[in-house]
């Protein structure tokens, strides 16, 4: 966590006065919000668009002004985390924290997406862990069978009490083990064609930079190096 904290603090230095900032979810959000709030207390003027209700609550508690897309249609910079970062493409798997739909909406509306990670998140090929897929509760079993036909092993995400985990949007999540994904763009298209799939955790071509916390310091991976 110490290495990721250093990466998060570096990423916060990218935020400039007057920006609309997308605020990520999960452990990354906690690491970003504290130094951001400190800069605001020093006079930085920004507004944030949170990617989850949990992030919104944390941000309000720190005095960060929040807005919605009805007020600002475009985000200048989003800082978020990732579950997997593919070396060489900077394609991502996100959503194991349960906020993938809102995270992808904010990321897609952003002029710049910066991902904060430590080196444990770097993979040669996506699919080391499960790919989260957000689905409509009605008929989720049928949706799961369609996903299974693509070679996955889907499992309904459960809360600690054994009930189905429900996202901020009111949907279920299927955690789908595909193994190493040979073609993320092809899988992206196939999943987008399944009725009942709301969104999935493949974030392709969205990350502009990945800030990696390493023992020797912060390393910046830029998508422009791979294009």
> Which one is catalytic: 9, 84, 86, 103?
103
DSSP secondary structure, the chain, as one string: -HHHHHHHHHHHTT--TT-EEEE--THHHHHHHHHHHHHHHTT---EEEESSHHHHHHHHHTT--B--TTT-S-BSEEEEE-SEEETTT--EE--TTS-HHHHHHHHHTBS-EEEEEEGGGEESSS-SSPEEEEE-STTHHHHHHHHHTTT-EEEE-B-TTSSBP--TTS-EEEEEE--S-S-HHHHHHHHHTSTTEEEESEE-S--SEEEEEETTEEEEEEGGGT-
Query: Could you give the CA distance from residue 46 to residue 36 in angstroms, rounded to a whole number?
Result: 10
Annotated catalytic residue 57? no
Q: 223, exposed or middle or buried, with CB in 10 Å at 0-12, 13-18, 19+?
A: middle
Interior angle at CA 87, CA 84 and CA 89, nearest 5 = 95
103 C-beta neighbours (distance < 10 Å), count? 30
Q: Residues with catalytic annotation?
A: 103
């Amino acid at each position: 966590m110490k290495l990721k904290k250093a990466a998060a603090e570096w990423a916060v230095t990218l935020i400039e006065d007057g920006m609309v900032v997308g605020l990520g979810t999960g452990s990354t959000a906690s690491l970003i919000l504290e130094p951001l709030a400190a800069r605001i207390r020093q006079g930085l003027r920004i507004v944030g668009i949170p990617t989850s209700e949990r992030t919104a609550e944390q941000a309000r508690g720190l005095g960060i002004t929040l807005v919605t897309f009805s007020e600002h249609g475009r985000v200048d910079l989003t800082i978020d985390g990732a579950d997997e970062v593919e070396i060489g493409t900077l394609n991502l798997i996100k959503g194991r924290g349960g906020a993938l739909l809102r995270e992808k909406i904010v990321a897609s509306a952003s002029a710049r997406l910066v991902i904060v990670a430590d080196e444990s998140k770097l993979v040669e090929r996506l699919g080391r862990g499960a790919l989260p897929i957000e689905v409509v509760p009605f008929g989720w079993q049928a949706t799961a069978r369609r996903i299974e036909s693509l070679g996955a092993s889907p499992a309904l995400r459960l809360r600690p009490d054994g009930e189905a985990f429900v996202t901020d949007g009111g949907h279920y999540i299927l955690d789908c083990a595909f193994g190493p994904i040979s073609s993320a763009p092809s899988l992206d298209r196939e999943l987008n064609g399944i009725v009942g799939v709301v969104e999935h955790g493949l974030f392709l071509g969205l990350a502009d930079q990945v800030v990696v916390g390493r023992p020797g310091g912060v390393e910046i991976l830029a998508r422009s190096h791979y294009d």
